[in-house]
Protein backbone atom coordinates (compact mmCIF):
# COMPACT_ATOMS: atom_id res chain seq x y z
CA UNK A 1 0.00 0.00 0.00
CA UNK A 2 1.40 3.45 -0.88
CA UNK A 3 2.97 5.21 2.08
CA UNK A 4 3.96 8.83 2.72
CA UNK A 5 7.54 8.67 4.01
CA UNK A 6 8.64 12.29 3.51
CA UNK A 7 6.61 15.41 4.14
CA UNK A 8 7.30 19.15 3.98
CA UNK A 9 4.88 22.07 4.14
CA UNK A 10 4.74 25.86 4.08
CA UNK A 11 1.73 27.97 5.07
CA UNK A 12 1.12 31.43 6.48
CA UNK A 13 1.83 29.90 9.89
CA UNK A 14 5.42 29.32 8.79
CA UNK A 15 7.58 26.53 7.43
CA UNK A 16 7.32 22.93 8.58
CA UNK A 17 4.63 20.65 10.00
CA UNK A 18 5.32 21.88 13.54
CA UNK A 19 4.49 25.48 12.59
CA UNK A 20 1.29 24.34 10.88
CA UNK A 21 0.26 22.18 13.83
CA UNK A 22 0.92 24.97 16.34
CA UNK A 23 -1.17 27.32 14.18
CA UNK A 24 -4.05 24.88 13.99
CA UNK A 25 -4.00 24.29 17.75
CA UNK A 26 -4.02 28.04 18.37
CA UNK A 27 -7.48 28.19 16.74
CA UNK A 28 -6.44 31.63 15.46
CA UNK A 29 -6.66 32.18 11.70
CA UNK A 30 -3.41 33.20 10.02
CA UNK A 31 -5.32 36.07 8.39
CA UNK A 32 -3.83 39.53 7.97
CA UNK A 33 -4.48 42.55 5.77
CA UNK A 34 -3.02 42.06 2.30
CA UNK A 35 0.09 44.18 1.70
CA UNK A 36 1.50 42.25 -1.27
CA UNK A 37 -0.67 44.29 -3.68
CA UNK A 38 -3.29 47.02 -3.54
CA UNK A 39 -6.80 45.91 -2.53
CA UNK A 40 -8.46 49.31 -2.16
CA UNK A 41 -10.84 48.66 -5.07
CA UNK A 42 -11.83 45.20 -3.83
CA UNK A 43 -14.57 44.10 -1.46
CA UNK A 44 -12.17 41.84 0.43
CA UNK A 45 -8.86 42.99 1.89
CA UNK A 46 -7.51 40.03 3.87
CA UNK A 47 -5.67 36.78 3.21
CA UNK A 48 -3.44 34.25 4.96
CA UNK A 49 -0.07 35.28 3.54
CA UNK A 50 3.62 34.89 4.26
CA UNK A 51 5.71 38.05 4.63
CA UNK A 52 6.84 39.68 1.40
CA UNK A 53 6.51 38.10 -2.04
CA UNK A 54 8.10 34.65 -1.90
CA UNK A 55 9.03 32.83 -5.10
CA UNK A 56 6.80 29.77 -5.47
CA UNK A 57 9.25 27.66 -7.47
CA UNK A 58 12.14 28.42 -5.14
CA UNK A 59 10.01 27.32 -2.20
CA UNK A 60 8.89 24.17 -4.02
CA UNK A 61 12.53 23.28 -4.67
CA UNK A 62 13.29 23.65 -0.96
CA UNK A 63 10.24 21.62 0.08
CA UNK A 64 10.94 18.80 -2.38
CA UNK A 65 14.52 18.55 -1.12
CA UNK A 66 13.29 18.54 2.47
CA UNK A 67 10.74 15.77 1.82
CA UNK A 68 13.34 13.65 -0.03
CA UNK A 69 15.85 14.12 2.79
CA UNK A 70 13.23 13.13 5.36
CA UNK A 71 12.47 9.95 3.36
CA UNK A 72 16.24 9.31 3.24
CA UNK A 73 16.31 8.99 -0.52
CA UNK A 74 19.79 8.54 -1.94
CA UNK A 75 20.99 10.44 -4.98
CA UNK A 76 20.51 7.29 -7.07
CA UNK A 77 16.95 6.79 -5.80
CA UNK A 78 16.08 10.41 -6.59
CA UNK A 79 17.41 10.03 -10.12
CA UNK A 80 14.90 7.21 -10.71
CA UNK A 81 11.96 9.08 -9.15
CA UNK A 82 9.46 11.19 -11.13
CA UNK A 83 7.82 14.42 -9.97
CA UNK A 84 4.08 15.12 -10.15
CA UNK A 85 3.05 18.72 -9.56
CA UNK A 86 -0.16 20.66 -8.89
CA UNK A 87 0.06 24.37 -9.71
CA UNK A 88 -1.79 27.08 -11.59
CA UNK A 89 -0.25 26.79 -15.05
CA UNK A 90 1.22 29.80 -16.84
CA UNK A 91 3.28 30.46 -19.95
CA UNK A 92 6.59 29.43 -18.37
CA UNK A 93 5.33 26.70 -16.03
CA UNK A 94 6.68 23.77 -18.02
CA UNK A 95 10.18 25.23 -18.24
CA UNK A 96 10.28 26.18 -14.57
CA UNK A 97 9.10 22.74 -13.47
CA UNK A 98 11.66 21.03 -15.69
CA UNK A 99 14.37 23.10 -14.00
CA UNK A 100 12.84 22.27 -10.61
CA UNK A 101 13.01 18.52 -11.20
CA UNK A 102 16.61 18.80 -12.41
CA UNK A 103 17.63 20.94 -9.42
CA UNK A 104 16.18 18.33 -7.06
CA UNK A 105 17.91 15.45 -8.86
CA UNK A 106 14.61 13.88 -9.92
CA UNK A 107 14.10 11.90 -13.12
CA UNK A 108 11.44 14.05 -14.82
CA UNK A 109 8.20 15.93 -14.43
CA UNK A 110 5.63 13.25 -15.15
CA UNK A 111 2.36 15.22 -14.90
CA UNK A 112 1.15 18.72 -14.05
CA UNK A 113 -2.31 18.80 -12.44
CA UNK A 114 -4.37 21.96 -12.87
CA UNK A 115 -7.83 20.65 -11.90
CA UNK A 116 -8.71 23.77 -9.92
CA UNK A 117 -8.90 23.30 -6.15
CA UNK A 118 -8.84 19.49 -6.50
CA UNK A 119 -5.47 19.55 -8.30
CA UNK A 120 -3.18 18.46 -5.45
CA UNK A 121 -5.45 15.67 -4.23
CA UNK A 122 -5.70 14.43 -7.81
CA UNK A 123 -1.89 14.52 -8.07
CA UNK A 124 -1.54 12.39 -4.92
CA UNK A 125 -4.13 9.96 -6.28
CA UNK A 126 -2.10 9.55 -9.47
CA UNK A 127 1.10 8.99 -7.50
CA UNK A 128 -0.59 6.41 -5.26
CA UNK A 129 -1.97 4.59 -8.30
CA UNK A 130 1.47 4.42 -9.95
CA UNK A 131 3.03 3.05 -6.78
CA UNK A 132 0.20 0.59 -6.07
CA UNK A 133 0.35 -0.76 -9.63
CA UNK A 134 4.11 -1.21 -9.45
CA UNK A 135 4.75 1.24 -12.27
CA UNK A 136 6.97 3.31 -9.94
CA UNK A 137 8.79 2.48 -6.73
CA UNK A 138 8.15 6.00 -5.50
CA UNK A 139 6.84 9.37 -6.68
CA UNK A 140 7.42 12.87 -5.34
CA UNK A 141 4.33 15.09 -5.33
CA UNK A 142 4.61 18.87 -4.95
CA UNK A 143 1.95 21.56 -5.00
CA UNK A 144 1.85 25.28 -4.43
CA UNK A 145 -0.24 28.40 -4.67
CA UNK A 146 0.65 31.84 -3.37
CA UNK A 147 -1.88 34.65 -3.22
CA UNK A 148 -1.36 37.02 -6.14
CA UNK A 149 -3.15 40.09 -7.44
CA UNK A 150 -4.78 38.44 -10.46
CA UNK A 151 -6.30 35.47 -8.62
CA UNK A 152 -7.39 37.66 -5.71
CA UNK A 153 -9.11 40.02 -8.15
CA UNK A 154 -10.79 37.17 -10.02
CA UNK A 155 -12.26 35.68 -6.85
CA UNK A 156 -13.21 39.07 -5.45
CA UNK A 157 -14.85 40.28 -8.67
CA UNK A 158 -16.94 37.11 -8.67
CA UNK A 159 -18.15 37.99 -5.16
CA UNK A 160 -16.64 34.82 -3.69
CA UNK A 161 -14.19 36.11 -1.07
CA UNK A 162 -15.37 36.86 2.46
CA UNK A 163 -15.61 40.66 2.81
CA UNK A 164 -15.54 40.15 6.58
CA UNK A 165 -12.07 38.60 6.36
CA UNK A 166 -13.28 35.53 8.27
CA UNK A 167 -14.04 32.14 6.70
CA UNK A 168 -16.84 30.28 8.49
CA UNK A 169 -17.15 26.75 7.03
CA UNK A 170 -20.54 25.04 7.44
CA UNK A 171 -21.67 27.92 9.67
CA UNK A 172 -24.74 30.08 9.59
CA UNK A 173 -23.78 33.48 8.21
CA UNK A 174 -20.86 32.21 6.12
CA UNK A 175 -19.92 34.54 3.27
CA UNK A 176 -16.96 32.97 1.50
CA UNK A 177 -13.33 31.91 1.82
CA UNK A 178 -10.11 33.71 2.65
CA UNK A 179 -7.27 32.87 0.27
CA UNK A 180 -3.99 31.54 1.66
CA UNK A 181 -0.38 30.88 0.72
CA UNK A 182 0.37 27.19 0.70
CA UNK A 183 2.94 24.77 -0.68
CA UNK A 184 3.92 21.24 0.20
CA UNK A 185 5.83 18.18 -1.01
CA UNK A 186 5.52 14.51 -0.11
CA UNK A 187 7.27 11.29 -1.04
CA UNK A 188 4.86 8.45 -1.85
CA UNK A 189 6.52 5.04 -2.00
CA UNK A 190 5.83 1.33 -1.75
CA UNK A 191 8.56 0.64 0.81
CA UNK A 192 11.09 2.78 2.61
CA UNK A 193 13.67 2.97 5.35
CA UNK A 194 11.77 5.39 7.60
CA UNK A 195 8.52 5.09 9.52
CA UNK A 196 5.79 6.58 7.31
CA UNK A 197 3.56 9.45 8.30
CA UNK A 198 0.54 7.61 6.95
CA UNK A 199 -0.72 5.22 4.29
CA UNK A 200 -2.73 6.27 1.25
CA UNK A 201 -5.36 3.56 1.57
CA UNK A 202 -7.71 4.71 -1.17
CA UNK A 203 -8.54 7.49 -3.58
CA UNK A 204 -11.39 8.54 -5.80
CA UNK A 205 -12.09 11.13 -8.50
CA UNK A 206 -15.36 12.32 -9.97
CA UNK A 207 -16.72 15.02 -12.25
CA UNK A 208 -20.41 15.62 -11.77
CA UNK A 209 -20.81 17.94 -14.79
CA UNK A 210 -23.71 19.78 -13.16
CA UNK A 211 -22.64 23.39 -13.66
CA UNK A 212 -19.45 25.28 -14.46
CA UNK A 213 -19.22 26.83 -10.99
CA UNK A 214 -22.23 25.67 -8.92
CA UNK A 215 -22.28 22.31 -7.14
CA UNK A 216 -25.09 19.81 -7.36
CA UNK A 217 -27.21 20.46 -4.25
CA UNK A 218 -27.11 16.75 -3.33
CA UNK A 219 -23.32 16.58 -3.66
CA UNK A 220 -23.36 13.83 -6.28
CA UNK A 221 -19.74 14.38 -7.36
CA UNK A 222 -18.06 14.39 -3.94
CA UNK A 223 -20.28 11.50 -2.82
CA UNK A 224 -19.17 9.43 -5.82
CA UNK A 225 -15.50 10.23 -5.13
CA UNK A 226 -15.84 9.22 -1.47
CA UNK A 227 -17.57 5.98 -2.45
CA UNK A 228 -14.80 5.19 -4.95
CA UNK A 229 -12.09 5.76 -2.32
CA UNK A 230 -13.84 3.47 0.17
CA UNK A 231 -14.35 0.74 -2.45
CA UNK A 232 -10.73 0.88 -3.53
CA UNK A 233 -9.56 0.41 0.06
CA UNK A 234 -12.23 -2.11 1.01
CA UNK A 235 -13.12 0.07 3.97
CA UNK A 236 -16.60 0.75 5.31
CA UNK A 237 -17.84 4.16 6.48
CA UNK A 238 -17.64 3.02 10.11
CA UNK A 239 -13.82 3.14 9.78
CA UNK A 240 -13.75 6.88 9.04
CA UNK A 241 -12.56 8.75 12.10
CA UNK A 242 -12.32 12.24 10.61
CA UNK A 243 -13.20 14.20 7.49
CA UNK A 244 -11.06 17.17 6.51
CA UNK A 245 -13.63 18.86 4.30
CA UNK A 246 -13.02 21.14 1.34
CA UNK A 247 -15.64 23.56 2.73
CA UNK A 248 -14.78 27.03 1.46
CA UNK A 249 -17.49 28.73 3.56
CA UNK A 250 -19.70 29.47 0.57
CA UNK A 251 -23.42 28.75 1.07
CA UNK A 252 -23.99 26.42 -1.89
CA UNK A 253 -20.71 24.51 -1.88
CA UNK A 254 -20.74 23.81 1.87
CA UNK A 255 -24.34 22.59 1.72
CA UNK A 256 -23.58 20.32 -1.25
CA UNK A 257 -20.50 18.91 0.44
CA UNK A 258 -22.40 18.26 3.67
CA UNK A 259 -25.01 16.36 1.68
CA UNK A 260 -22.24 14.34 0.03
CA UNK A 261 -20.64 13.38 3.35
CA UNK A 262 -23.95 12.33 4.89
CA UNK A 263 -24.89 10.36 1.77
CA UNK A 264 -21.56 8.60 1.18
CA UNK A 265 -20.94 7.71 4.83
CA UNK A 266 -24.51 6.64 5.66
CA UNK A 267 -25.64 5.65 8.18
CA UNK A 268 -22.56 6.88 10.09
CA UNK A 269 -22.30 10.32 8.44
CA UNK A 270 -23.98 12.34 11.21
CA UNK A 271 -21.51 10.95 13.76
CA UNK A 272 -18.20 11.42 11.90
CA UNK A 273 -16.15 14.43 13.11
CA UNK A 274 -15.73 17.04 10.36
CA UNK A 275 -13.76 20.27 10.07
CA UNK A 276 -12.44 22.50 7.33
CA UNK A 277 -9.05 23.93 8.23
CA UNK A 278 -9.29 26.53 5.46
CA UNK A 279 -10.76 28.78 8.14
CA UNK A 280 -7.30 28.73 9.75
CA UNK A 281 -4.59 28.43 7.07
CA UNK A 282 -6.68 29.88 4.24
CA UNK A 283 -7.81 28.44 0.92
CA UNK A 284 -4.63 27.38 -0.86
CA UNK A 285 -6.35 26.69 -4.22
CA UNK A 286 -4.32 24.16 -6.26
CA UNK A 287 -2.23 23.30 -3.19
CA UNK A 288 -5.23 22.61 -0.93
CA UNK A 289 -5.18 18.82 -1.20
CA UNK A 290 -1.52 18.49 -0.26
CA UNK A 291 -1.62 21.02 2.60
CA UNK A 292 -4.71 19.26 3.95
CA UNK A 293 -3.10 15.82 3.58
CA UNK A 294 -0.43 17.18 5.93
CA UNK A 295 -3.18 18.34 8.30
CA UNK A 296 -4.65 14.82 8.33
CA UNK A 297 -1.21 13.29 8.90
CA UNK A 298 -0.69 15.57 11.90
CA UNK A 299 -4.17 14.91 13.30
CA UNK A 300 -3.69 11.13 13.09
CA UNK A 301 -0.14 11.39 14.47
CA UNK A 302 -1.12 13.54 17.47
CA UNK A 303 -4.52 11.94 18.04
CA UNK A 304 -6.29 15.30 18.06
CA UNK A 305 -8.59 16.91 15.49
CA UNK A 306 -8.27 20.54 14.33
CA UNK A 307 -11.28 22.71 15.01
CA UNK A 308 -13.76 24.09 12.48
CA UNK A 309 -12.93 27.72 13.24
CA UNK A 310 -15.15 30.76 12.74
CA UNK A 311 -18.37 28.92 13.54
CA UNK A 312 -21.24 31.24 14.51
CA UNK A 313 -24.07 28.73 14.74
CA UNK A 314 -25.69 25.70 13.09
CA UNK A 315 -27.05 25.68 9.55
CA UNK A 316 -29.82 23.18 8.78
CA UNK A 317 -28.19 22.52 5.38
CA UNK A 318 -24.98 21.36 7.08
CA UNK A 319 -26.13 18.85 9.69
CA UNK A 320 -22.66 17.49 10.43
CA UNK A 321 -20.75 16.64 13.60
CA UNK A 322 -18.42 19.63 13.45
CA UNK A 323 -15.27 19.78 15.56
CA UNK A 324 -15.89 22.99 17.48
CA UNK A 325 -13.66 22.49 20.51
CA UNK A 326 -10.09 21.31 21.05
CA UNK A 327 -9.32 17.92 22.48
CA UNK A 328 -11.40 15.64 20.26
CA UNK A 329 -9.68 12.47 19.11
CA UNK A 330 -10.28 10.77 15.74
CA UNK A 331 -13.28 8.45 15.91
CA UNK A 332 -11.44 5.66 14.08
CA UNK A 333 -8.15 4.97 12.28
CA UNK A 334 -8.90 6.43 8.83
CA UNK A 335 -9.35 10.03 7.65
CA UNK A 336 -10.90 11.40 4.48
CA UNK A 337 -9.44 14.47 2.81
CA UNK A 338 -11.98 15.91 0.38
CA UNK A 339 -11.40 18.57 -2.28
CA UNK A 340 -13.67 19.95 -4.99
CA UNK A 341 -13.31 22.60 -7.65
CA UNK A 342 -15.08 24.60 -10.31
CA UNK A 343 -16.26 22.50 -13.21
CA UNK A 344 -17.63 19.85 -10.85
CA UNK A 345 -14.33 18.06 -10.15
CA UNK A 346 -13.85 16.18 -6.90
CA UNK A 347 -10.87 14.27 -5.50
CA UNK A 348 -10.85 12.27 -2.28
CA UNK A 349 -7.91 10.72 -0.42
CA UNK A 350 -8.52 8.00 2.17
CA UNK A 351 -5.62 8.19 4.62
CA UNK A 352 -4.74 5.72 7.35
CA UNK A 353 -2.37 5.59 10.31
CA UNK A 354 0.84 3.70 9.46
Domains of the chain in start order, with CATH, are 3-189 (3.40.47.10), 198-352 (3.40.47.10)
Q: Which residue stretches of the chain have pLDDT < 50? A: none
Nearest to 2 by CA among 191, 197, 231: 191
- Catalytic position from the list 88, 216, 283, 334: 283
Whether pTM > 0.85 for this model: the answer is: yes
Q: What is the pLDDT of residue 329?
A: 96
- Catalytic position from the list 117, 284, 296, 318: 117
Residue range 75-109, pLDDT digits in tens: 999 999 999 999 998 889 999 999 999 999 999 99
Q: What is the pLDDT of residue 317?
A: 96
Q: What is the pLDDT of residue 91?
A: 87
Is residue 296 part of the annotated active site? The answer reads no
Q: What is the pLDDT of residue 212?
A: 78
Residue range 114-173, pLDDT digits in tens: 978 999 999 999 999 999 999 999 999 999 999 999 999 999 999 999 999 999 999 999
Q: What is the pLDDT of residue 343?
A: 84
Is residue 283 part of the annotated active site? The answer reads yes
Query: Using CA atoms, how far apart are residues 340 and 343, in angstroms rounded to an integer?
Result: 9
Query: Using CA atoms, how far apart are residues 86 and 288, in angstroms rounded to an integer?
Result: 10
Nearest to 90 by CA among 12, 157, 144: 144
Q: What is the pLDDT of residue 268?
A: 96
- Catalytic position from the list 246, 281, 311, 334: 246
Amino acid sequence: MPRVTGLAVLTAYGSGPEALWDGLLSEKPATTAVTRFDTTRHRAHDACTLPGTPDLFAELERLVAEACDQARLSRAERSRTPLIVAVHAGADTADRLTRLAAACGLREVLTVHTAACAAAASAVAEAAQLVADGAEDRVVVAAGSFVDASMFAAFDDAGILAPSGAARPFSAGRDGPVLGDGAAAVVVERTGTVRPWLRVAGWGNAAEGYHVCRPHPEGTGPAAAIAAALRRAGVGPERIGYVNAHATATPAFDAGEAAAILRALAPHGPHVPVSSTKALHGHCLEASGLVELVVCALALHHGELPVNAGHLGPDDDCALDLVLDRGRAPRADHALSLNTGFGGVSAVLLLAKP
